[in-house]
């Protein structure tokens, strides 16, 4: 536990000479934390804690986005420092059990990292416990199940020739839900099933085919939670009746989540450190704090601004309520100094805004790189800049006819991008590979990585590329390019939206292999700055500070 003065700097300045400054500096990997002149060292807490990380969305069996991956890596780092970690995903998810089992196994969570979900726990479901398989398909005399020849995921069940059920399955034919139909083939009910086949939720529909009521099914087969559904599809007016006799009525989902956190998650007598991914549940934690000892650090994972994504641009509408109250939070954690400084200048909130970047650990890389090769690895959406890259690719191919641009990823604009490539006659030099599970190795096989994004939250893929020695050429987007790339040393930063400068930077590197090699060697040093030790020190140091503040406030 931290004692005495706060030793955790709210600013993360670059390393500098402090020999004559009257202050002592302690190197923490990439950062220098400035301490009072009478301080000799920073002592981070070694007392084990239980860190709770609150996700915005549901789990995925194979996490693909940077936010979830960064949370899982952070959990491992804190676990490896002797702490317990619980990762909470709030939404109801029929795939929760399967996703939790898969993630826990793949990421080697063991007993010290636990995944949690309120709907699963209220239903008495523990993902690590074995569940007997149940066949949810109708069977018996008179029933016939017919597969849809156009889509193997869809099946229809007929009872004595009458269409009664529509069955939707995943790619492995596991039943996800079943729609029940009346005599007029109108849907009146839907059952949701977990990966064992067990029914975990019923939805009931009105004559307009809109859900109006839901029932959640306990492991023992009883209905333990009911709710109404409004015209916007939001559940409300929850009634809880657990097998152990506990009951409750909750007007909103937020009040149900608050009750669950108080009664299932947070102990009554201990201080609880919480990391919330974004601030969409700030009101929930505010209510929890009235009954439990918690300090919440809200982690920002993306740009908070709207177009044109520059200082002074409007805040994203969905984030306005959170940022309106930014001064009252225990901590808000940005990923870069640039974002933090934008926040403190525009919102006057320096006392509780910190900077803790993500980290990346070296992986197995290819031993050689293909000459004149370029790569983009990201979700295929227009703001990522794929169309900018394709528009200037002929400029690169004119100089180097053997040049190849490898694009990995999927997204809503993939087919439009494919059409653009085909229309330009670039099929042989711009290769759309789609999703790639071992993306780091693929990136390591390429000489140059381009990042023509309009904005990023942190660009974890930029660190991945640099760690592999793949030299980055990036637009000067907010946020992350300036934090990771030293222009002309380990990559290039070009004017945002200037695709010609981007292309000329690529051409320059291809024409100068010695410079390319030097930049490649320099880019690999990124792992010295964004490593696990630094990440662990920063988060533990932050909560040392927050615990100290909590105790000071409590004892005041």
Does position 16 have pLDDT exceeding 50, yes or no?
A: no
Per-residue model confidence (pLDDT) at position 278: 85
Per-residue model confidence (pLDDT) at position 9: 39
Does position 463 have pLDDT exceeding 50, yes or no?
A: yes
Does position 8 have pLDDT exceeding 50, yes or no?
A: no
Per-residue model confidence (pLDDT) at position 556: 74
**Alpha carbon of residue 365 to chain centroid:** 24
405 near 452, Cβ under 8 Å? Answer: no
From residue 409, give the alpha-carbon distance in Å to each of 376, 406, 419, 442, 469. Answer: 8, 10, 16, 12, 20
Class of CATH domain 370-529: alpha beta
Per-residue model confidence (pLDDT) at position 4: 34
Percent with pLDDT over 70 in the chain: 92
Could you give the CA distance from residue 311 to residue 108 in angstroms, rounded to a whole number? Answer: 41
Mapped onto helix, strand or coil, the DSSP state of residue 104 is: helix
Q: pLDDT by residue (tens digit) across 26-67?
A: 333 333 233 233 333 457 888 899 999 999 888 888 776 678
**Alpha carbon of residue 249 to chain centroid:** 32
Q: Which of 486, 302, 483, 441 is nearest to 383 (CA)?
A: 302
Q: What is the CATH number of domain 50-121+255-355?
A: 3.40.50.2000
For the chain, domain boundaries: 50-121+255-355, 143-252, 370-529
Q: pLDDT by residue (tens digit) across 79-114?
A: 999 999 999 999 999 999 999 999 999 999 999 999
User: Is 370-529 in the same CATH topology as 50-121+255-355?
Assistant: yes
Q: Which of 532, 543, 466 is nearest to 2 (CA)?
A: 543
> What does the pLDDT average to over 314-318?
95
* Per-residue pLDDT band at 460 (split at 50, 70, 90): confident
DSSP assignments along 427-472, one per residue:
TTTEEEEE--TTHHHHHHTEEEEEE--SB-S--HHHHHHHHTT-EE
Per-residue model confidence (pLDDT) at position 49: 95
**Alpha carbon of residue 453 to chain centroid:** 18
Per-residue model confidence (pLDDT) at position 36: 33
> What does the pLDDT average to over 275-284?
93
Which of 3.90.930.1, 3.40.50.170, 3.90.1150.10, 3.90.1170.50 is the CATH number of 143-252?
A: 3.90.930.1
Per-residue model confidence (pLDDT) at position 42: 57
Per-residue model confidence (pLDDT) at position 148: 93
Per-residue model confidence (pLDDT) at position 60: 83
Write out the E strands in 270-369.
271-277, 293-299, 331-334, 353-355
Does position 459 have pLDDT exceeding 90, yes or no?
A: no
Q: In what order do the strands lie in the sheet with 187-193?
A: 143-148, 151-159, 162-169, 175-181, 187-193, 199-205, 211-217, 223-229, 235-241, 247-250
Per-residue model confidence (pLDDT) at position 44: 86
> What does the pLDDT average to over 248-264?
97
Residue 387, number of CB atoms within 10 A of its CB:
16
Q: pLDDT by residue (tens digit) across 130-173?
A: 888 999 999 889 999 999 999 989 999 999 999 999 999 987 78
Residue 307, number of CB atoms within 10 A of its CB:
10
Per-residue model confidence (pLDDT) at position 11: 37
Mapped onto helix, strand or coil, the DSSP state of residue 391 is: helix
> What does the pLDDT average to over 357-371?
86
> What does the pLDDT average to over 178-201?
96
Could you give the CA distance from residue 9 to residue 23 in angstroms, rounded to a whole number? Answer: 13
Could you give the CA distance from residue 99 to residue 117 in angstroms, rounded to a whole number? Answer: 12
Lowest pLDDT segment from 66-75, 439-448, 496-505, 533-542: 66-75
Q: pLDDT by residue (tens digit) across 509-544?
A: 999 999 999 999 999 999 888 999 999 999 999 999
* Per-residue pLDDT band at 17 (split at 50, 70, 90): very low
Does position 457 have pLDDT exceeding 60, yes or no?
A: yes
Q: What is the pTM of this model?
A: 0.86
């Amino acid at each position: 536990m931290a004692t005495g003065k706060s030793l955790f700097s709210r600013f993360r300045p670059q390393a500098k000479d402090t020999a004559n400054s009257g202050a002592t500096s302690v190197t923490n990997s990439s950062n220098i934390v400035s301490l009072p002149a009478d301080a000799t060292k920073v002592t981070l807490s070694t007392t084990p804690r239980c860190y709770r990380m609150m996700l915005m969305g549901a789990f995925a069996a194979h996490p693909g986005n940077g936010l979830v991956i960064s949370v899982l890596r952070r959990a491992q780092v804190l676990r490896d420092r002797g702490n317990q970690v619980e990762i909470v995903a709030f939404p109801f998810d029929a795939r929760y059990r399967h996703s939790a089992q898969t993630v826990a196994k793949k990421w080697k969570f063991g007993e010290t990292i636990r995944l949690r979900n309120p709907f699963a726990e209220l239903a008495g479901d523990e993902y690590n416990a074995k569940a007997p398989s149940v066949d949810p398909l109708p069977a018996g005399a008179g029933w016939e199940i017919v597969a849809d020849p156009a889509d193997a995921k869809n099946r229809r069940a007929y009872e004595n020739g009458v269409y009664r059920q529509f069955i939707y399955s995943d790619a492995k034919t596991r039943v996800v839900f079943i729609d029940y139909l009346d005599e007029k083939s109108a849907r009146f009910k839907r059952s949701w099933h977990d990966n064992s086949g067990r029914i975990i939720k019923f939805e009931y529909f009105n004559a307009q085919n809109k859900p109006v009521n839901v029932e959640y099914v306990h492991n023992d087969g009883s209905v333990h939670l009911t709710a109404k559904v409004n015209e916007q599809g939001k559940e409300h007016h929850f009634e809880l009746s657990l097998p152990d006799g506990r009951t409750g009525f909750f007007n909103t989902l937020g009040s149900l989540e608050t009750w669950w956190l108080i009664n299932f998650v947070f102990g009554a007598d201990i201080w609880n450190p919480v990391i919330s991914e974004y601030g969409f549940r700030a009101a929930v934690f505010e209510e929890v704090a009235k009954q439990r000892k918690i300090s919440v650090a809200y982690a920002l994972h993306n740009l908070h601004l709207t177009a044109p994504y520059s200082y002074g641009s409007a805040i994203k509408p969905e984030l306005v309520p959170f940022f309106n109250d930014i001064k009252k939070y225990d901590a808000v954690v940005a990923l870069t100094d640039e974002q933090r400084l934008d926040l403190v200048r525009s919102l006057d909130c320096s006392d509780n805004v910190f900077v803790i970047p993500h980290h990346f650990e070296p992986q197995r890389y290819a031993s050689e790189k293909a000459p004149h090769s370029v790569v983009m690895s990201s979700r295929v959406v227009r703001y990522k800049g794929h169309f900018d890259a394709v528009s200037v690719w002929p400029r690169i191919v004119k100089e180097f006819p053997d040049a190849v641009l490898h694009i990995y990823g999927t997204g809503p604009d993939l087919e439009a991008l494919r059409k653009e490539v085909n229309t330009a006659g670039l099929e042989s030099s711009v290769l759309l590979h789609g999703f790639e599970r071992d993306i780091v190795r693929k990136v390591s096989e390429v000489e140059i990585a381009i990042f023509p994004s309009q904005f990023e939250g942190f660009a974890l893929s930029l660190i991945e590329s640099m760690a592999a020695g793949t030299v980055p050429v990036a637009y000067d987007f907010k946020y992350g390019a300036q934090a990771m790339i030293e222009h002309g040393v380990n990559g290039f930063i070009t004017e945002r939206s200037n695709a010609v400068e981007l292309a000329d930077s690529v051409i320059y590197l291809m024409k100068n292999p010695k410079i390319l090699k030097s930049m490649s060697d320099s880019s690999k040093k990124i792992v010295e700055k964004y490593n696990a030790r630094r990440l662990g020190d920063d988060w533990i140091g932050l909560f040392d500070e927050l615990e100290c503040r909590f105790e000071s406030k409590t004892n005041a």
